[in-house]
């Protein structure tokens, strides 16, 4: 049977899940122009698939998912799997105005505010780790694991290239059955769009090869975890020239960059609720896990919340390579919320002239870092920090914030009686 190609018009919700509606290719013109119907209460669906109560929306209201044509992502068909074009959408009211609770609208408004205030734009890239099951046992970073994942690995790189994602590296990682895929930096909203789509492309391709891919923070409380590292740099919005690097300043970080970093560090406890929002996320964000051991800025330290990344030896391109890596994130987060919150925090650090943070050297010892502020111990503490941070809560639409808190507390209630191993498995089942 020859299947008619489909287009899938999608959003990513507060639970980090990609949801939407499909339209036959024969109606693609209408779908692109008019979008598809959507319901405000869909934003209140938890990771586990139920609409949480109470929520701000109830059973009333209507929206449209209006696809952005520039996000078209083509998944080629096979004999068993029909082709599909995926489009990411903005959520709009019926009069065509943006819906203030739409996460993609939140990210775009953060970018627009940043550029309007500073004349700069943010370049970003999301670096994903995930596990692929049913592979033979192999050593970390090994040739064997790289080859055992074929042809999945090569086909994933080809699929990303086909859709213009610019894959940079595909590698076997340290954890058991773990891999990492990195893609080139681009503008902030596009980077978040690609982060949404990449997870679905990986999962879809894995299913085609008889595997299951999971991006969950932890599969085993004692095992290695999967993070999402968000790389950030700043450049002049008119000329494209990088402005984060200044070789005359400590560690090469410009004065503007230090203020940006100060904003992220100051509001990190609240932001962590948005960037690591599952019940298992904070089991990974602990010292000695190579994730985030505390809220500090450091040179090339993989336990820093913000890491100044190394650059290649070519001094002529150092400024363009130079970036900050935010390490307290994972794939249970909505990428648009994550990038929007980081940009808003950085902007606040710049406009409010926050004091320059300490830049810890690469060789700083545990004793040196004993006094740095810790991240929240768990998601309940992070949610409390979010609610108490009057700056961060002002960035978020009131209904979106209330719904996010309701979803996360409902998810906590559903996993409260699980031991740590069962908790990790439960989160892995949906991510």
Question: 127 in a domain, yes or no?
Answer: yes
> 0.85 cut: is pTM over it?
yes
CATH code for position 58: 3.10.20.70
Q: Are residues 117 and 18 in the same domain?
A: no
Q: Are residues 347 and 261 in the same domain?
A: yes
Q: Are residues 226 and 270 in the same domain?
A: yes
Question: 387 in a domain, yes or no?
Answer: yes
Q: Are residues 346 and 254 in the same domain?
A: yes
Q: Are residues 136 and 64 in the same domain?
A: no
Question: 350 in a domain, yes or no?
Answer: yes
Q: Are residues 195 and 307 in the same domain?
A: yes
Count of structural domains, the chain: 2
Question: 115 in a domain, yes or no?
Answer: yes
Cβ density class 226-255: b for 16+ within 10 Å, e for less:
bbbbbbbbbbeeeeeebbbbbeeeebbbbe
Q: Are residues 158 and 241 in the same domain?
A: yes
Question: 1 in a domain, yes or no?
Answer: no
CATH code for position 397: 3.30.590.10
Domain stop point among 67, 99, 131 = 99
Q: Are residues 87 and 110 in the same domain?
A: no
Domain stop point among 83, 99, 115 = 99
Question: 84 in a domain, yes or no?
Answer: yes
pLDDT tens by residue, the chain, 431 residues: 566 778 999 999 999 999 999 999 889 899 999 999 999 999 999 999 999 998 899 889 999 999 999 999 999 988 888 999 999 999 999 999 999 999 999 999 999 999 999 999 999 999 999 999 989 999 999 999 999 999 999 999 999 999 999 999 999 999 999 999 999 999 999 999 999 999 999 999 999 999 999 999 999 999 999 999 999 999 999 999 999 999 999 999 999 999 999 999 999 999 999 999 999 999 999 888 888 889 999 998 889 999 999 887 765 588 899 999 999 999 999 999 999 999 999 999 999 989 899 998 988 888 888 889 999 999 999 999 999 999 999 999 999 999 999 999 999 999 999 999 999 999 999 99
Q: Are residues 155 and 189 in the same domain?
A: yes
Question: 146 in a domain, yes or no?
Answer: yes
Domain stop point among 99, 124, 156 = 99
For the purposes of burial, counting CB atoms within 10 Å of the CB of 295, is it exposed (0-12), middle (13-18) or buried (19 or more)? Answer: buried
How many residues does the structure list for the chain? 431
Q: Which two tokens stand for residue 316?
A: 């002529």
User: Rounded distance, CA 296 to CA 283, Å?
Assistant: 19
Please give the residue range of the domain that contains residue 43: 6-99
Cβ neighbours of 120 (radius 10 Å): 22
Q: Are residues 137 and 253 in the same domain?
A: yes
Q: Which two tokens stand for residue 194?
A: 């690609």
User: Rounded distance, CA 277 to CA 379, Å?
Assistant: 7
User: Rounded distance, CA 113 to CA 121, Å?
Assistant: 10
Q: Are residues 176 and 82 in the same domain?
A: no
Quick one: pLDDT at residue 316? Answer: 59
Q: Are residues 44 and 112 in the same domain?
A: no
Q: How far is CA 353 from CA 202, 305, 342, 346, in A?
A: 41, 20, 16, 10
User: Rounded distance, CA 155 to CA 92, Å?
Assistant: 35
């Amino acid at each position: 049977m020859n299947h008619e190609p489909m287009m899938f018009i999608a959003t990513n919700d507060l639970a980090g899940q990609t949801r939407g509606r499909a339209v036959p290719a024969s109606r693609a013109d209408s779908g692109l122009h008019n979008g598809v119907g959507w319901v405000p209460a869909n934003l209140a669906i938890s990771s586990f698939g139920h609409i949480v109560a109470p929520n701000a929306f109830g059973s009333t209201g209507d929206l449209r998912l209006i696809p952005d044509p520039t996000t078209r992502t083509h998944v080629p068909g096979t004999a068993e799997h029909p082709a599909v074009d995926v489009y990411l959408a903005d959520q709009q009211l019926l009069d065509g105005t943006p819906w203030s609770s739409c996460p993609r609208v939140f990210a775009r408004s953060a970018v627009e505010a940043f550029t309007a205030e500073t004349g700069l734009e943010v370049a970003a890239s999301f670096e994903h780790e995930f596990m692929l099951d049913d592979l033979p046992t192999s050593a970390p970073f090994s040739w064997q694991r790289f080859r055992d994942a074929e042809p999945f690995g090569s086909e994933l790189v080809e699929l990303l290239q086909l859709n213009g994602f610019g894959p940079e590296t595909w590698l076997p990682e340290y954890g058991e059955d773990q891999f990492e895929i990195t893609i080139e930096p681009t503008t902030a909203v596009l980077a978040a769009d690609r982060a949404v789509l990449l997870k679905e492309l990986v999962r879809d391709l894995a299913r085609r090869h008889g595997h299951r891919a999971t991006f969950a923070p932890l599969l085993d409380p004692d095992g290695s975890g999967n993070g999402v590292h968000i790389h950030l740099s700043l450049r002049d919005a008119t000329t494209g020239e990088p402005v984060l690097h200044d070789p005359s300043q400590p560690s090469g970080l410009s004065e503007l960059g230090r203020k940006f970093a100060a904003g992220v560090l100051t509001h990190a406890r609240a932001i962590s609720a948005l960037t690591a929002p599952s019940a298992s996320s904070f089991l990974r964000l602990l010292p000695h896990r190579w994730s985030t051991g505390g809220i500090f800025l450091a040179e090339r330290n993989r336990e820093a919340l913000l890491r100044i990344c190394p650059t290649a030896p070519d001094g002529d391109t150092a400024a363009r390579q130079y970036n900050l890596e935010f390490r307290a994130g994972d794939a249970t987060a909505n990428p648009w919320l994550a990038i929007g919150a980081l940009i808003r925090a950085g902007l606040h650090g710049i406009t409010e002239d926050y004091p320059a943070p300490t830049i810890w050297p690469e060789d700083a010892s545990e004793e040196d870092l004993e006094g740095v502020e810790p991240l929240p111990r768990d998601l309940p503490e992070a949610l409390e920090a979010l609610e108490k941070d009057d700056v961060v809560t002002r960035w978020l639409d009131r209904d979106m914030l209330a719904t996010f808190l309701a979803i996360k507390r409902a998810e906590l209630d559903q996993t409260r009686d699980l031991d740590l191993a069962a908790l990790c498995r439960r989160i892995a089942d949906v991510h």
